[in-house]
Amino acid sequence: MKEVSSTPKWVTDYYKDFRLKERTKCFKTCLKCGETKLISKFSVDKRNLDGRISICKACRSLEGLNYYYHNRVKMLIKNIEYQKNNKRDRSIYFKNYREKHGEQLKENASKWYLENKEAIKRRNLKYYQEHKKACLARRKLWIEKNKEKIKRYNREYKRKHKISKGAIG
């Protein structure tokens, strides 16, 4: 085995210089489209000597789109399978977590809500105004889906209300 110290100084110097140049260069040529572009047009990748990936952002996003287009069914299935497989584990995890930290979580949530009440209201209102149509559609769908539940709830509410009214009057 060769010892590290046996490497001549001019080699290590050359290498150091080369690395410095690589790390400080302003332009890079894309391996895919062959265009020379500003270094900022390449995503950061610490594993590369110059700290950037070899394909420009434009080519990469195109690649990503292509990949998605050709594998969309596969990816969808994969996602669904992943969710199915992890649903149980995740729900058990959250259940345990909630049981363990329930009070703390409630406290945190209500504290957070009280502190941010106005901001939350504003955000919700803004979201509603920007997505009015979608919100209304979703609401309609929800009502349609929960018709029976709402009816039951209303009946229950009326019954309770009547009783308490009767008790007062």
Q: Which residues bind Zn ion (CB under 5 A)?
A: 30, 32-33, 56, 59
Question: How many alpha carbons fall within 13 Å on the CB side of residue 147?
Answer: 4
Q: How far is the CB of 122 from Zn ion (least distance, A)?
A: 43
Taking each helix axis from N to C terminus, what angle separates 132-145 and 57-130, rounded to the nearest 10 degrees?
Answer: 70
Closest to Zn ion by CB, 58 vs 135, is 58
Closest to Zn ion by CB, 13 vs 35, is 35
Q: How far is the CB of 133 from Zn ion (least distance, A)?
A: 39
Backbone region of residue 51 per phi and psi (left: phi > 0; alpha: psi in -120 to 50; beta: other values): left
Q: How far is the CB of 23 from Zn ion (least distance, A)?
A: 21
Q: How far is the CB of 41 from Zn ion (least distance, A)?
A: 8
Q: What whole-number distance in Å separates Cα of residue 169 and Cα of residue 154?
A: 22
What element of type H or E holds 69?
A: helix 57-130
Q: What whole-number distance in Å separates Cα of residue 57 and Cα of residue 61?
A: 6
Closest to Zn ion by CB, 48 vs 135, is 48
Closest to Zn ion by CB, 35 vs 107, is 35
